[in-house]
Amino acid sequence: MRQPEHTTVPAKTAALPGSDRPRPASPELERAVISAMLREPEPCVDVAVSILGRDAEAFYVQQHRDIFSAILDISDSSDRKVDLVAVAHQLQQRGKGDEIDAVYLGDLYATVATTANIETWCRSLHDLHMLRRMISVCTESLLQCYDTSARPAALIEKIETSVYNIRNTGAKSDYVPLKECLGPQFDHLLKVARGELEVGIPTGYSQLDDYTGGLKPGEMFVLAARPSIGKTALALNIIRNIVLPSRTPHPRRVVFFSLEMTTDQITRRLLCTEAKVPAEIFQRRTFMPADLARLKAAMETLAPAKLYIDPTPGLSVAEMRAKARRMYLTKDEDGNPMIDVIVIDYLQLMHADVGNDGRQNEVAAISGGLKSLAKELNIPVLVLAQLNRDIDKNASPDALPKLSHLRESGAIEQDADVVAFLHRKRDEAKDLPPDQSVEAKLIVEKNRNGKTGIVPLFFFPARTEFTAASPYTAADEPPARQ
């Protein structure tokens, strides 16, 4: 039999005007958070604890407090996993089994269909918990102010301390003494100098890596361009250089969130680029036996790649962060995270839950969320972005993009550690033979931890591939078709 939810908590203060009003709470949100923790303990339990702390008072309904505490007990144990049976048993051990039966736990489990919004739900519960605590503190403070024997200065200090404690509910101390950082950083720099450690993940474009040090952990790298310039192509080229054992001695694992292209389109591009054959020859049925042989060889080369493609359109920043966290917490057979790099194509196709605050604030929330994710997981996040139309209005066809051309928000410029603009003359690529290229530039316009400059590239439109302009080797040349 389903137990009724409690909707009141014993009052800790005397009655005051308005104190009989219901405290801010949302049993529906609480049910959603508990449901997510039961359905996907990893990573939902960690997400809930990181936001709500371990204080069951974050939940208003007593039953939910008991279940939350039981889940934490189980997750703290090394030999048990969170599931309905384990939670029911733990509640029995706590003497709560009669109040919360298996039927009620089953109802909770079925409350939500997806856990993607667990972070948003937890932050809302955290806010409601803070409001309830503020009501208690302010009510108690009002009563104390009627005590004429109280010393005002001491009372103010007490009230300020109480409010400060609420403000820092669940906050973790992140202060680290400098002397504790010096030794590890000295060892890190020494290993880099000896070549024992990479500064960042090499992109396969050595001149770009000279500027940026590669894709560095915890940094957000923004690659921006006008439409149809080739930012997706360059991103896929970089991914190919990172994930293929044939191109790097240390292949990485990449998750590619493609909000614009389908999985089939991305796979087709990778195949044709690796095979160095134009996709149009298959559409027009003008391919030769050698083209098929190269395509088969490309398939064998790409097969070992640890590339995971998520083509979900209209992804929110909260959903994307939840997915990325889940993949990061999933370990391989060696105990390493499932992903080393996150790539997003592209930022302006995402959305954030900011109400009606305007598109600029929404893009700012997305940009800030992606930067926070890079720091939280300590892995690089490569974000593609669209430029606004101002550059097209410029009278000079050679006009180079600037930071002010980033579309919809200056927050992208502020949050990014590196901003690089891909630039070329779009018309030069029209009706170009498959084995010919056009000049392109990758302009490193912002680099928080290094120098800026221009990386010259060649772009082969037929096979959507960017190659280094200098030094130029025979490996960069397209094979002759037979």
Start-end ranges of CATH 1.10.860.10 in the chain? 27-167
Q: Is the peptide bond before 346 cis (omega within 30 degrees of 0)?
A: yes
Start-end ranges of CATH 3.40.50.300 in the chain? 194-476
Classify residue 171 as exposed, middle or buried by CB count within 10 Å of its CB (0-12, 13-18, 19+): exposed
pTM, full prediction = 0.68
- Report the DSSP pairing between strands 418-423 and 438-447: antiparallel
Length of the chain: 482
Cβ neighbours of residue 293 closer than 8 Å, sequence gap 6 or more:
none
Residue in the block written with tokens 């180079």: 400
Give the architecture-level CATH label for domain 27-167: Orthogonal Bundle (1.10)
| pLDDT, position 344 | 94
| pLDDT, position 340 | 93
> Which strand (E) or helix (H) includes residue 384?
strand 381-386
Q: Is the peptide bond before 337 cis (omega within 30 degrees of 0)?
A: no
| pLDDT, position 382 | 96
Below-50 pLDDT ranges, the chain: 1, 3-4, 6-14, 395, 472, 476, 481-482
Q: Residue ranges of the alpha helices (H) in 94-230?
A: 102-109, 118-145, 152-167, 178-193, 206-212
Decide if 40 is catalytic: no
| pLDDT, position 36 | 92
> Which strand (E) or helix (H) includes residue 465?
strand 465-468
| pLDDT, position 396 | 62
| pLDDT, position 67 | 92
Cα–Cα dist 66/451, whole Å: 55
Q: What is the pLDDT of residues 95-150, one digit of tens each?
A: 887 788 888 888 898 898 888 888 889 999 999 998 998 888 888 888 888 888 87
Q: What is the pLDDT of residues 365-420, one digit of tens each?
A: 888 889 988 988 899 999 999 887 666 665 466 678 888 777 666 788 888 999 99
User: Which class is domain 194-476?
Assistant: alpha beta
Cα–Cα dist 21/267, whole Å: 58
Cα–Cα dist 449/152, whole Å: 50
Cα–Cα dist 346/313, whole Å: 10
Cα–Cα dist 270/265, whole Å: 9
| pLDDT, position 6 | 46
Say if CB 389 and CB 395 are below 8 A apart. no
| pLDDT, position 167 | 66
| pLDDT, position 233 | 92
Catalytic residue, from 157, 260, 439, 477: name it. 260
394 C-beta neighbours (distance < 10 Å), count: 12
| pLDDT, position 4 | 45
254: β partners: 307, 341
Cα–Cα dist 62/96, whole Å: 11
